[in-house]
Amino acid sequence: MYIRVSEILGRLQNFSGIDEAVLSAKAEIGTNVHKAIVEDTSGDFPMLKTERAWAYFGSYELWKAKEKPVFKMQVPRLYDDELMITGEIDGIIETNRHNLPLLVDWKCSASANEEIWEMQAHFYWYLLQRNGIDVSKEKMLWVNLRQSKKYIEDGVAKYSPMLPKVYEFSYKNSVFTRCVEEAIKAWEEKKASLLFD
């Protein structure tokens, strides 16, 4: 049994003030946009369900046109038998400006959570290393895709893509140490909950 990186990090975030329907709709858009990016990088035609999802995908296209990345691979779910964790990395890219491939992750968040994203970057870098995939630890890119919403007649919302905001993280031993500590705590909490269920 493995614990997901998203589960470890989810414990550190508080979504209690957000309506469950809003969270569910946002998660569905994020999943749809991620799938469309995979389709695009595979040479397939991206299928998006809503105008809002198209706007986020348009943000990705703006980033891609500017950066001109070479997509090296979409990474399957990775596992680590030491920490007993698992994670699904969005992708690995190469650019003309970097020697090693770069870890990249797509976000569709209204606001950035840099602390959590930096930890996620460290977890994913670790998983890649443990699975024999070498990427830069000097630069890991978290690309927050953005869209703007404008109301037109009769209160109908119109969505347009915007340039994404790119967050760059580099490996820090202190952040990785915290990741390991949080993975251990998450396992302790999981074991305790199994005992009392």
Which domains are seen in the chain, by residue range?
Answer: 3-196 (3.90.320)
Residue 100: its H or E element? none
Token reading at 140 = 């890991």
Q: What is the value of pTM for the model shown?
A: 0.91
Q: Determine how many CB atoms are found less than 10 A away from the CB of residue 152.
A: 8
What torsion, rounded to 10 degrees, do the Cα atoms 149, 150, 156, 161 define? -40
Which stretches in the chain have pLDDT values below 50? none
User: Rounded to an integer, what distance in angstroms lies between the CA atom of residue 60 and that of residue 103?
Assistant: 16
CA distances to 3, 12, 14, 184, 191 from 188, in Å:
11, 15, 20, 6, 5
Q: Is 41 left (phi over 0), alpha (psi -120 to 50) or beta?
A: alpha
Beta strands in the chain (DSSP E): 3-4, 70-73, 78-80, 85-87, 91-94, 102-107, 140-151, 157-169
Beta strand pairing status for 91-94 and 85-87? unpaired
Q: Is the Cα dihedral 13, 15, 21, 25 positive or negative?
A: negative
Cβ pair 146, 112 in contact under 8 A: no
Predicted confidence at residue 194, as pLDDT, reads: 74
Q: pLDDT at position 93, please?
A: 94
Paired with 147 in beta bridges are 161
